[in-house]
Amino acid sequence: MKLGKKNEKPEHSLWAWTAMLYSAGMGAGILLRAVQEPVFMQQNPPYASLVSPEVLALEFTFYQWGFTAWAFYGLFAMIIGYALFVRKKKVQVSAAIEDVIPNSTVKMSIDIIAILTTIFGLIAAIGLGTAQINGGLNHLFQTNFGLGSTLLLAFIISTIAFVSVWIGVNKGIKIISKFNILVTLALLLFVFFTSDMSAIIVSFGKATLQYLKDFIPMSLSYGSYDPGIKFLTDWTFYYWAFWLAWAPFTGIFIARISRGRTLRQILLGVLLIPSLGTFFWFAVFGTSAFQMIEEWGRYQNEFSNVFSSIFVFFEHYPMATVLNFTTIFLLISFLVTSVDSAVFVISMFTDKGKQLPSKKHRLIWSIFIFLATAALLMLGSAKPDIDVLEAVQKLLIITSLPFAFFMVIMTLIFLWGIYHKKFRNSKSIT
């Protein structure tokens, strides 16, 4: 079943489509956690396992960033895309259920929660991203740039994102997204070819196979696969909340750029291509970091700081300065694509569900996102005893919880509609 007319070709090439969905869906996060998370999992195994701590660390990192996240995105993309291009509905989350639940109050509540959750998720992402960039600059220049530079970074990111979303998907978002992936691939291949390639490939294969084998019991925290409630709250539940918070805007953005593709292409493309790419990314950086620690003979939390770990890692490679500044540049660029795609989707939500929202809405939301992020950063600076970003992350768990239930209802309604459509078609042919 194709999103659009029967003989319609995809609006975007596979390369451009993959670049845009990955930039919107993951982006800066893979740089933020590239070294810190695998090493943390190695030093603090989630549970006892027969596999080596290194393989378990990569397996659990794959689990956090793999099929689960992209399944959330893909499900929204498929269902909203079907409503948008087949059923000719407006670009709103409630479009997925309005044929069965037409109550206007329920529909409005769902759309408002979707907007709020997207905003909270975006603010948290920008706050964490700018904090990492600032942390990287502080590490490189051995100084403390403080709140002023963080606010300046947030302003620069928001401004570039506004320009990108102002000129549209094809001229702004697509070009920046393709550039992001090219630079990311260059960074990945440089580390791969200057590291122990055979060890990376072996680790990638072992961890991927173990992940596929353990996926269901890990997802259920069943028996010996239960890491405990504290670990789940700090890691798994937080990640689930973050993916759920981003699922409406990322899924709808993916749906918006998927015109001309079949539902099968969307699901396989969204689940497999970015997941396998992410697995290889963490295998390259994680395995290389494990080997560094083994060579040192001890670990003194060199990679424990989420904001500076990747910069510390690059210090042990040739052209470290170039790598570090490339990472900072890439962090900014990834955050730009997250912001511009999110602003585009929120603008579609609020501009009566139009596929091409007015530029007035894009301007208003760009300004609002920046001001909200700036207020959050200033509040965190004024209250150093309170981790405001962590509070927003916890708030994400609360605001995204309704989507856990909504996703089940949305999926059942979608499958029911598909089944009846197929059944009616086969009956009419008979």
What DSSP string describes 13-37? -HHHHHHHHHHHHTTHHHHHHTTHH
Q: How far is CA 425 from CA 2, 86, 103, 260, 261, in A?
A: 16, 15, 28, 22, 21
pLDDT at 195: 93
- Determine the 3-state secondary structure of 196 from DSSP: coil
Query: How confident is the model over 42-67, as a mean pLDDT?
Result: 93
Amino acid found at 235: W
For residue 430, pLDDT beyond 60: no
Compute φ and ψ for 2, nearest 5 degrees: -100, 145
Least confidently predicted of 209-213, 252-256, 282-286: 252-256
For residue 398, pLDDT beyond 70: yes
Whose CA is closest to 417, among 87, 10, 70, 138? Answer: 87
How much helix, strand and coil, in percent to the nearest 5, is found in the chain?
80, 0, 20
pLDDT at 422: 65
Least confidently predicted of 162-166, 204-208, 396-400: 396-400
For residue 311, pLDDT beyond 70: yes
Query: How confident is the model over 6-33, as a mean pLDDT?
Result: 85
Which H/E stretch holds residue 330?
A: helix 320-350
Contact (CB, 8 A) for 30 and 286: no
Q: How confident is the model at residue 111 (pLDDT cuts 50, 70, 90)?
A: confident
Q: What's the N-to-C CA distance of the chain in angstroms?
A: 20
Alpha carbon distance 383, 377 (integer Å): 10
Contact (CB, 8 A) for 195 and 284: yes
Alpha carbon distance 398, 189 (integer Å): 39
Pick the more confident residue, 396 or 89: 89
Alpha carbon distance 32, 40 (integer Å): 13
Match 């509905």 to its residue by tokens: 89
Which of the residue ranges 257-261, 282-286, 423-427 has the most confident prediction, judged by mean pLDDT? 282-286
Alpha carbon distance 388, 384 (integer Å): 9
Whose CA is closest to 59, among 207, 221, 276, 280? Answer: 207
